[in-house]
Structure 1
Amino acid sequence: MRLLLLLAVLSWIENVLGRAVFAHFMVGNTENYSASDWIEDITLAKEAHIDAFALNMAKGEPMNQKAIADVFSHAEALGFRLFFSFDYAGRGPYSKAEVLGWINQYASSTAYFRHNGQPLVSTFEGPEQAEDWIKIKAQTGCFFVPDWSSLGAGPVARAAGGVADGLFSWAAYMMPVSPWFYTNLPGYNKNWLWRGDHLWYDRWVQANVLMPEWVQIISWNDYGESHHIGPIRDHALVAFNTGKAPYRYSLDHHGWRTFLPYSIDRYKNNKAAITTEGVSFWYRPTPKDACNTGGTTGNTVSQLQIEFQPYDVVEDSVFYSVLLTSAATVKITIGGVEANGQWRNLPDGEVGLWHGSSPFQGRTGEVKITVWRKDVLIADLTGPAIKKDCHNGMMGFDAWAGGRLTSTAPRPVNRYCPRSACVCKALGAQKTLPKQVPGKFYPAEGLNSNYIGLCDYACLYGACFASYCTKDQHPLIEPSVSPFRPPSCISGTGDGDWEVLCSFTCRHGFCPLASSNGNDPQEQIDPGETFEIPHLDQDCMRFSDCFDLDNPQASSCGSGYRRQGYDRAGCPGKSARPICCKDSSVLPDSCTWRGSGGDCNGQCHEGEATLFESNKGGSPGESGHGQCSRGKKVFCCELKTFGTLTSQCRWSPWYISRRLHDVQFPTDSFIYSGSGCDEDELVVASAHALTGYCSNDFLNKKIGQKYCCKTEKPPMDNCHWVGQGDCADNNCTNKEVTLTTNPSGSNSNECFWSRKKSLCCTPNDTIFDLGSDDDFYDDHCTVGDPRPDCQPDEDASDEPDEETCRADEKTELRRDSHDGSFFLREPLSIEERTFRLEKRKRPIMAVVTGASGLSYTMRILARNYPSISALFRSRRGPGPSDYVFRMRRPRLTPLVVTEHRDSLPSLVGYETEHNPDVQIVRDFLQTASSGILPNLEPTRNNARIDAYDISRLWNSTSLGVVFPRVANSRCLASAEDYFMDQFGSTGNVAPLVATEMKLNAVKARIFKGSRPIGDDTFTRLSGQTLAGNMTATNELFNELRAIIGTFNYINHPDLQPIFSRTRLSIREAARFLAENIPPFGLMPEIYEQFEPLWYEAAATRSRRFLEERLNDVETRLDALIASGIPPPNAIRIRAHILVLRNHLGDIRAPPPP
């Protein structure tokens, strides 16, 4: 008891003498907490130097009694502090008796936090119950610091006669500090973000400037608002269910605790010891314009703020704070592309926290941050990949934060920096002050008391600006509203039914972005042009069903799409059919409905494509939502590459042909005629008369203009005019673009009713084939690259179609009509079989061995498959994935990244690749014949297939079996044809993938069972590396990392859908062969045992090989260092070895399909 009393006294003394830092803790998330959860939370908070949890409790929560009892018990045992923060907003206000009961029960605990001997108590909202606290304070002696921010500082200070002892926004000041804010909880009517970015660093600078009595970190575990710094627990994410979140968007934020020991010690003690150097970094793993916003806004009208689109508020950057004892450089690598980081804030004397950011710049892929001081690697941390992944079609704006624990101490600051008027941006030692100028100074005429302190300090040191400060005292004009409040919306409007309400509410500061348009619209982000012509007929879609437009979740577009408008035709009330287009294909605000009046007659303009027709249309549009009595409205979108397509084109000019002056024409008249194109120009289109048109038919002369393009190939094909008579049929198809419109078109027959014809052209897909090898790093294969791994795939075909079957080659053979027994026709002759084999590609030799020990050598052939240049050609049936796979660059980590093929200037350095590797067939047939699995264990029940049956039936074309067609494949005449076609072929391209050549070469060696790197190559490169050759170092570790890269590739989430589908197709093919070829009856059973073990064996073999090579290099490096002759690149070698060792766990078999 005496010990407990002594600890309590010491705790009180500590609280009286020092400042304190608390973390806001949501008790409502702890219903499923175990003792270990409480212990871990308290332990982590103590390690971060947090003094106490502010226990936020909503009234009547079922877990309150048990949770409070448990947390106080563990806090007492662990020497941690707690205090109550009663939440009056969550489930309604507390009664006075309830509050008294909680305080009286726990205020005597040694774990309860006290200020000057008084138990500290807080609230969230509840100002209407302010009078209750007069009696509560009298009975408990508590020190009361509520958060009544809804009232504002002045009314709060006066509430209940000034019952509050301190506030969250007044003295005594409890300053809130938060790293982030994003919430999407429709169940609580919350869906907005506030800009985070540099906030975590900036807030702690401000805390050290303001030096409030307390700091409360918002929060420890409020996952629904994305500002948690504690660990994520799946059983604590209850807010996402009750708040009806579209998905659980919380990410790991452990990195925001990294520098809390430093920041807290600096704030509490004005000093902190430097123990280690390290990094804290954070970023959003999804680019801000990758997905639909899901209705999220930047800022919120619920706080009377001006709302913005969220992508206009946040930065696509990696943010970092680095603890250093002297200057260093930081590098940020995203998706293998490295960039130098920029410092935004430098500590005084170069000792302390350095802070900066590095923009994404369109890069995606894994994130890595490295910090170097000259050649010394201080830190090397990685974070999750930046991906354009969308959850339920919408964007998540939470950040991921990582880092390593460090601490430091800037020097104290004593300069004058008033809290509201100025923002301190850097801390450091006191600078030498200028010479003082004696005298008393006041704010200039017309100013207010906010200038008193500034004028006193500035004028004292000689910076007395006459516009603001004077020696003469004037009456102070105090503003009725704080000059430091953010701007508010003062005008706005809305579309359609929203207009009346929005025009009023926006004038008074409430202007929700979803339904109103503020008076200061933000510019849209222009994603820029690509060198690929969008196919708007494929890239835009109109929903077939009507959806409520006020429900962003229901009416949102899918991943990578943006809503460009909607169609109200056939939809009741406020519902409509959304129109969505790929972000990469259509610029924001570049689509509109055209056509108005009763006779709508919508027509797209120059540079637009006609996508949809409607008798009602919608928004955006040239007119309202009225019904057409005749004709149609059309939905038109700008072809964003139109300007580039036509940049080298022109219409030939008109010129004067001759002058007429006779009796019939008493005045000077001219005939205008058109010239042709120059010799170096192509004629793409023609028109009768586009400008200065006048009729000259009386001369029976055909006049007109030409559309001339100075390009090697025409930018547009098949240009033709549409529209005749009344020209109601004057729109292009959705595959064309409108080049221009004109009443006469290609002849002098004008449209009736002042309508115009359209000149329609098909954009030429090949005009932008401008790939450049300069876009690739040295390790990427280029045209004519002599390296062995960069040689063209001789087994692939450039032919666009499947091979033609021979006339005498039967592909539809029947079983014997008299019984169901297996029927084998005469096999092909040697000559016939040789002919077939010569037409086929990629031979693999397999040896199958029977129980008697007799072996048969077989030649296994992959199906004919397209080369990389032919892979993405248009064809019937499912196409290949648009993703291409490559190793991350530059050469350090062994990760694999994907890019959309449209983002690449060319596919040089890539080749068509099979997954699984076709080598699996060789090894499977060997296992099937021997009964020995890749782990050297026998198959279940010693299942096996006779080697002789495999050798005679596998490629026989006389089995009497009709093999199912796969996609557009033909000539499936044998078991081999059918089985191998599952891996991909010219007729079945869906399983095929575009993969980097060098990665594919290493993969082939691994699954062939060869050494991933030849012994001679390794000996040469490792010797040169240890001699200090940096080129050899890069080449060696690039080869080694490709071993891990192979397994990161086959485990890549973008590959899994294709990979799994193919693996299941192969299993289904094995079942078909078993059902139709009796000797193959055990094939499915054997294959299902074999396949996962085959991958495990390859992973084990590769891991052992790589470990041996890394150990070999390290052992030899250690010997050189011990001998006193370390190579100059020793640190780099160590770094490479460390990184690869850290990724050895990536060498693993793929998950089951």
Structure 2
Amino acid sequence: MKPFLAFLLVLSWASQVLGRAVFAHFMVGNTEHYSKSDWVDDIKLAQDAHIDAFALNMAKGEPMNAKAIADAFSNAEELGFKLFFSFDYAGRGPYAKDEVITWINKYAPSSAYFRHQGRPLVSTFEGPDNAEDWHEIKAVTGCFFVPDWSSLGAGPAVRAAGGVADGLFSWAGWPWGAQDMDTYVDASYIEALNGKPYMMPVSPWFYTNLPGYSKNWLWRGDHLWYDRWIQVNTLMPEFVQIISWNDYGESHHIGPVRDHALVAFEKGSGNAPYMYSLDHHGWRNNKATVTFEGVSFWYRPVPKRACGTGGTTGNTVSQLQMEFQPYDIIDDSVFFTVLATQSVKVTVTIGGVQSPGVLRDVPDGGVGLYHGSAPFNGRTGDVKITVWRNGILIADEPGPAINGNCRDGMMGFDAWAGGGLLSKASRPLNTPSLEDDVCIRGTGANEFDEICRTTCSLGYCPQTACVCRATGALGKLPTEVPGEVFPAEGLNSNYIGLCNVACLYGFCFPKYCGKTQYPLIEPTVSPFNPPSCTSGSGEGDWALLCNFACRHGFCPIARCKCTSQGPLSLLNPTRQVKVVSRIGEDHGLCAFACSRGLCPKQACNSGNSEEQTEPPPPQVEMPHLDKDCYIFPECVDLDNPQASSCRGGYSRVSFDRSPCSGDYGRPICCKQSIQPLQCTWRGSGGDCNGQCHSEEVNLFQSKKGGDPGESGGTCSRGSKAFCCRLSTYKDLTSQCYWSKCGETCTSDETLLARASQLGGKCSLIKRQNHYCCKGNPLPLSNCHWVGQNYCADNTCNNKEVTVILDQGGEDGTLCNWWRKKSLCCTPEEAAFGNSGQCPAPYCTSPTEEYCGPDEWASDEPYEDCDDDDDDCGHDELRRDVIADPQGFSLAVVAFEDTSFQLLAGKKERRRPFNPRLVDLLNLIVTFEILAREYPGPSTLNQQPGASDSIFQKAAGCDNPDILVTKRDPKTTNEQLGAYADTEHHPDLQFAPRFLEFLASGNLPNGLQSPLSKIDANVIKKYWQNEFPKGTFPKTGRSRGILTPSDYFFDQFGSKGNRAPLTICEKKLNGMKGNIFAFNEPAARKDMTEWRAGALKGIVNDQNNYFERISRAIAVFLYLNHPDVLPTIQDNRENLFAAARFLATLIVEFASLEALLKLFDDAWYTEAARLTHDWVEEMLNDIQNELAPLVLSGRAPANMASINTMIANLKARLGDIKAPPRKPRKPRKP
């Protein structure tokens, strides 16, 4: 095998200078068919490459484990090689700790087991949920434990199980998107470990397409192998683990490809675009000293756009990464690394065409690694790389041809790697010692890039803020410019050292550094993380899933469009589900959403039989025959399928032989979605006068026509008409009719047309028939008669439908030659009332219901007075100060008058409530309580922890789903306040109703509390009673809380405590307020009127009716939405805690917490029950009233729409449920 020289030089540094241990990740699961020679070959190749040990990745319960492990240790002992266990907790589930102990104790005594500080080294692939097991495992085995718990991140992994890990291994060995690899994740581990050993991942490539494992993505590997070893040299971790030796399914193996070891491709590989792995021998090395020169090179043999992607993505949502098209993150180039003792010239030949290799990296001092690439530039064919040093050829290596050959037309993104140490150096040259080198070139993420490039070139490249790209000898530094500097306003502590060094040497960037000291603003999310998707959209049935999942970083490019980027909004799963998509390949959307509490039944099937739904009856779609059909412009051979085939999505319904000859004609094609069609050519004889019949549309005219038809002859005069029946005609005109002679339309009908006497059946006394229709909009418009005199002009156009044929028409003048006039009307699709016509679910005018301004919300920069203010909350005390004549002056009066105004204004901004309590003597006790002042929606997020999301009902009268959007920072206060409200959980009216319950014992569900009541006069005495400053615990930044009322109300949210508040669309919030006032969600009078109108075909009434029903359901989808429910649950717990505190403060309130929990449960469950019953009643009422209209043939044109909406909303009845309380954490045994 030929060596990989980048590995050679870096490994020689690591092993000779720093003594770092290098391991390779070895998949035991691929060794089922291994022989002794396979083990020996692998071990010898690893020894040649100076790999210190194999990390044996072993999944629980694999049938080959026992034999494979025994063979591995037996051969390793014979050859003097080392091994250690890496227990795979992800592949087949977690290990039992006793099994782990058994494996370690059995093989740790082997001379082949790798030890660190005398202790057997043990690692894992994942398994943080079993972290506690390792206390006992370590105690029994004495192992040195370095797990990979990458799913937790560095800090949580270090702290897991009280810091049980002795070190950590990271699996983050690949770059993000089109970026080259950085070291920010490595730095986070090194910093979190605080001196404990770090095992750093190094990998050459990553591409997988294994349908059986639901894996199909690519990470950029163009420069990865070279970059990563440079980064190892700069960070100097205790351990390095190469990923991998033999994981062929992910294309990052550096070991030899063995056909009998490709077991990953045996599971569900039918759709995989590659069934074997390419040779990667160039990513391995067999020398420890630099005595040879040569080249290693690698490339993808297929250009990135040569074939379809096969669904492969760049990055993967399975790790909450933003996805890209794979061709957007990789380059079509031949990449190379040359080991030489002097500068080199590289030429890459593809298909006989040469191009120079462009060096990206050169070694400091000239001895070492030269790295670069040469683009394909559209070339294909055999590949050859040639390297010259001072006119001496040191490498001339061929590679496989580049071509566009793909399996089944789908791309495989694996790379081929090759090369070797091909020329002996004229004399051995020493490479620089890492201990003498400093960073001489580096970069930084985002806003750090400019200053990092500067300071790294000066030898200062802090690993927490910058990424070192090259090391070498430090050059002459610029003249120092002494002076104290600080990070610029708004920046954080990461800039302190960068500013000190940059400014010291005269590079003091004003936007980063300055002489003025400002408070440091430390970020809550690492500024070095790549962006995540923070909002997204999808088409049709995918809209809800994409809206939710993209907000939390899961935005598969195949189904969703990411619409904004930012810090990841992590939402952890709350339940385990087995779910499949009902609407096609979902790329994990259903599993992600359902496991987090949003599981739309119309899109996802969780396997719960109670959730199964029948598909709703289809809505009536109006065919647009004038657009849905076309005729060939030229004559073609009708017997030649290739010549006469319709374009995609269309099929032939007929043809026209005019003006063609023989077997030629012009095919007539119509959309397959509107077929079958009943079409025919009408018109016969020499004087054809082709005329469409009732219910038909005239599409084309011709002298000859075709099949089917009334005649095969050619017209001498007039034309034949190609007529197709409008399939929706009867549904459209179901509430239209011709009146009897002399009768007129009724008051709820509209006159569309007149006829003098249809069929000549009217008398002279009672003349005229009237065509009457119900509905709004009307099913037909622009109705008119065509045909005069000879009536040769008696055909409708292709946008009209023929309603009736009559010889006399409207004026009674008969056509000659027994011809008939046509009544032509334009069909109106809007009459069907399809849900797409539903108005916007948000406010468009302040005059709409619930759309007025919130008079209590305040966006003014006003805060409650401080607790240290003696006058805080005492209006009367301020008046007493005025009454004191001492120090009297007009200035004081003016000031105090202003203060009165401020206090009055403050009181006015606090929403008042007047609970009516019944005391023990059955007397009414009333008093006023004031809610806390709260911010409007436009300023709510101006405090840490406050929401910047807006919740609203989705569009569609029968769609109660909740969509979430991020607050647009460009939106003005007025614009946001016009359609959104600041929303409390629970509603503020909860507080007065709770006080009334305390005195009466009457729960919202009508039941009596089993607990004792609290006297109304006691409640009035204490609820507004002021207590000494500092009595009540602080919530958020709230101040001036002196009464139980203020303390209780503050848990609902306030200007000082914003975390309990959300932003909700006004109509949805208004409906919620109505529901929790225990009123009917919409007025019964309005619903009755709208229902009657809907059954008369009035679409606006239909929409109003179903939109209110849908909105009522939406209230509970909102309360149970995974992005709202945690807030509601926290608020309820905070209210319980507040009641618990008040119970300790006021002895008469001893039972307050228990009473609150009773009331809280009944509050939510009763509101849900009442709403469920109301929705069910409304749906049943319209369904029952529609049924007799259908039976009598008088169903409105919007009947199908009504039935569809009924079915859709009945399927959502189960969504009306009370939000659950926060689940209790299980007690530790």
Using the size of structure 2 for normalisation, the TM-score is 0.42
Using the size of structure 1 for normalisation, the TM-score is 0.45
Please identify the structure whose Cα radius of gyration is greater.
2
